[in-house]
Structure 1
Amino acid sequence: MAKKLSHFSFDLPEELLAEYPSENRDEARLMVLDRKKKTIVHKKFKDLVDYFDEGDVMVLNNTKVFPARLFGNKEKTGARIEVFLLRELNEEQRLWDVLVDPARKIRIGNKLYFGEDESLVAEVIDNTTSRGRTLRFLYDGSYEEFRTKLSELGQTPLPKYIKRDVEPEDEERYQTIYAKVEGAVAAPTAGLHFSKHLLKRLEIKGIDFAEITLHVGLGTFNPVEVEDLSKHKMDSEELTIETPAVELVNNAKDNKKRVCAVGTTAMRGLESAVSSDLTLNEYDGWTNKFVFPPYEFSIANCMITNFHTPKSTLLMMVSAFVGHEFLMEAYTEAIKEGYKFYTYGDAMLIL
């Protein structure tokens, strides 16, 4: 059983890391894995509609990415500093948990200026980790005006592996079309492949959509640095699951329908809110659930996910769902067939 970090190592050619999304959302490639039959089929994402029937439920993570990457200048020296907003700590005091780069230059008491007119200022009030800081933003306007200013100055937080500059289309494409509740610093990427047209086709076929909210943090992408996976600690992320989603999911389970988690974040959300009778509960809080093999899934019996990088926690969860040997076989095939990996990459449907 794959319980060790080294089990999740494989050679991924750099050219398979997707720098850009597919031209149309639902034209991305789709690899379909059948866990029982151990079959691998190559499709397009829009073919998804062929695998679902009336009464099946897709669980969507409706979190919305906010423009979390800011560039400012340090007082006196004018050094350019990147500030990555992680989470708001206190609305009234305008306190934020952030990462700064380069961190060695940023100390408690330093001020940072943002915008050409330097209309937004932040003061460093605490060190949290080697790169982590607590900032207090100094801004005279209302809270709404302050958030608008952050949005104006912020950039879409594309993952670091994408070396190019952020382009105008990224603002739209690095967001699911059903994104509603702002709070994520990274997109739930499996959902990026859904187009309005595909959602409509699924709806016409009678598929239901259960929306949950899990605000994806950077912790999802933190490298695992221990060989024994049971010793890895996930960062906590905010999760909300409300009554309508609970009723849709439990009803589908009762009727032996498909419950399909769209993405690892949706799956983690579902598995964080399981009752003692293995049904879904409402939830309002934080989760640091880490799913790795061996693991018994309680809610979803189907999953849509992107292709993940070696040794990532996302790969570990998918391995627990698919079975490690079969997943590695599928990944070998994906590399051979030139599937695109990571955020803007292709997708996999696991039945």
Structure 2
Amino acid sequence: MKTDLFDFDLPREVIAQRPADPRDMAKLLSVGAAFEDHHMINLPDLVQPGDLLVFNDTKVIPARLKGKRGEAGIEVTLHKQEPPSEKGGARWWTFAKPAKKLRPDDVVRFADGFSATVENKLDGGEVLLSFDLPPEELYPYLEQYGKMPLPPYIQREAGSDQHDAEDYQTRFARHKGAVAAPTASLHYTDRLMQALEERGIEHLTLTLHVGAGTFLPVKVDDIRDHKMHSEIGHITPEAAEKINAVKARGGRIIAVGTTALRLLESASEEDGTLKPFDGETDIFISPGYRFRIVDLLLTNFHLPRSTLFMLVSAFAGLDRMRAAYQYAMDNGYRFYSYGDCSLLQREDRL
């Protein structure tokens, strides 16, 4: 399919710069045979007792670092962790700016006692850095010297707003490793979770460490030529057993966000059951994909020509999603990470 099919005009002013306050008052567009306007606090009325919400419990790390190679300034954004070096040092693939200033064996210094060596370099600004600290000792340095990796469409410098450290983290965040938030989970509050519980809606978590590659635009003319960056995910045997039990009794699996959906579908079997998962996935979901696990999808509004808009088009239908996005823009919905949410019905279930 041509990438142009997933393009649309998105006014800059509809891209949210701050989250809703309170978070559960973000708008919620139900997309099925028709469009219905709600707020997140209404979600319990839109789902059914026995349904299961699946959240991503990854935790965003302060992955953006500024350093120097000699006198030249370098900014890097960590996006995927690799196994430690032979000396035990943490290794991360990063997006570097300007990458042209870096060569293998160059040393980038971020602070006294905090540096990394360039191990490899790929096209597109990707650089593999080997740090002089073990993986478990790297995180305190990131907390001290790193900045929250706000998406490029948030029009302020990372670290310039103290609220972003909390706003760009979900209530479910437990396992460090993401460099982008699973933003569909940002809308949940104590009162919303209580209302869901009272309605008989269960929930569980899995882990997909979201990489910065989620922000990369699709630059190829044909989406079949696009290469996804891999991300590390974990589904416990207990979580897989719970999901299979819910499906077996007729309950619906509701993925909260595209990250949860991608991991669930990565671990799916041909017979529609889920297996435990511990490894990497580079699944790229586009129209024509046959969904095996997820019945409903809660997700924010995405950018044109993005793999995320391609995913929601695969789930709910390209024509329906183009119409839904136009409806959202016409009716005051806010887009992307800090924006509003949608509840999508699978096209093959309508």
Alignment TM-score, normalising by the size of structure 2: 0.92
Structure 2 Cα separation of the partners of residues 26 and 143 of structure 1: 36
Q: What pairs up with 1:26-175 in 2 under 5 angstroms?
A: 26-34=24-32, 38-75=33-70, 77=71, 79-91=72-84, 92-115=88-111, 118-139=112-133, 144-165=136-157, 166=159, 167-175=161-169
Amino-acid identity (%):
42
- Cα distance change, pair 156–327 in 1 and its aligned pair in 2 (3 A): same
Q: Is residue 177–residue 196 contact of structure 1 (8 Å, CA) maintained in 2?
A: no
1:297-320 deviation digits (Å, cap 9, x = unpaired) = 111111100001111111111111
- Cα distance change, pair 233–74 in 1 and its aligned pair in 2 (3 A): closer
Q: Specify the SS of the correspondent of 2:243.
A: helix
Decide which of 203, 208, 215 is 2:197's aligned counterpart. Answer: 203
Q: What pairs up with 1:274-293 in 2 under 5 angstroms?
A: 274-293=268-287
Q: Is residue 57–residue 248 contact of structure 1 (8 Å, CA) maintained in 2?
A: no
Q: Is residue 213–residue 241 contact of structure 1 (8 Å, CA) maintained in 2?
A: yes
Instruction: Verify: 1:257 aligned to 2:251, yes or no.
Output: yes
Structure 1 Cα separation of the partners of residues 170 and 106 of structure 2: 37
Instruction: Verify: 1:330 aligned to 2:324, yes or no.
Output: yes
Q: Is residue 188–residue 216 contact of structure 1 (8 Å, CA) maintained in 2?
A: yes
Specify the code of the residue in structure 2 equivalent to 1:148.
P
Instruction: Say what the alpha-carbon RMSD is for the aligned residues.
Output: 1.7
- Cα distance change, pair 295–146 in 1 and its aligned pair in 2 (3 A): closer
Report the count of equivalent residues. Answer: 340
1:178-227 deviation digits (Å, cap 9, x = unpaired) = 01111111111111111122112212322111211111112222222233
1:260-308 deviation digits (Å, cap 9, x = unpaired) = 0111111111111111311111111111111111222111111100001
Structure 2 Cα separation of the partners of residues 130 and 233 of structure 1: 12
Deviation at 1:234, TM superposition (A): 1.2
Specify the code of the residue in structure 1 equivalent to 2:3.
L
Q: Specify the SS of the correspondent of 1:168.
A: coil
Structure 2 Cα separation of the partners of residues 89 and 39 of structure 1: 45
Q: Is residue 293–residue 317 contact of structure 1 (8 Å, CA) maintained in 2?
A: yes
Deviation at 1:144, TM superposition (A): 4.0
Q: Is residue 29–residue 45 contact of structure 1 (8 Å, CA) maintained in 2?
A: yes
Deviates more, 1:7-16 or 1:87-96: 87-96
Q: Is residue 61–residue 142 contact of structure 2 (8 Å, CA) maintained in 1?
A: no
Q: Specify the SS of the correspondent of 2:287.
A: coil
Q: What are the ranges of 5 or more consecutive residues in structure 1 without an aligned counterpart?
A: none
Q: Specify the SS of the correspondent of 1:31.
A: strand
Alignment TM-score, normalising by the size of structure 1: 0.92
Deviates more, 1:97-106 or 1:39-48: 97-106
Q: Is residue 80–residue 231 contact of structure 2 (8 Å, CA) maintained in 1?
A: no
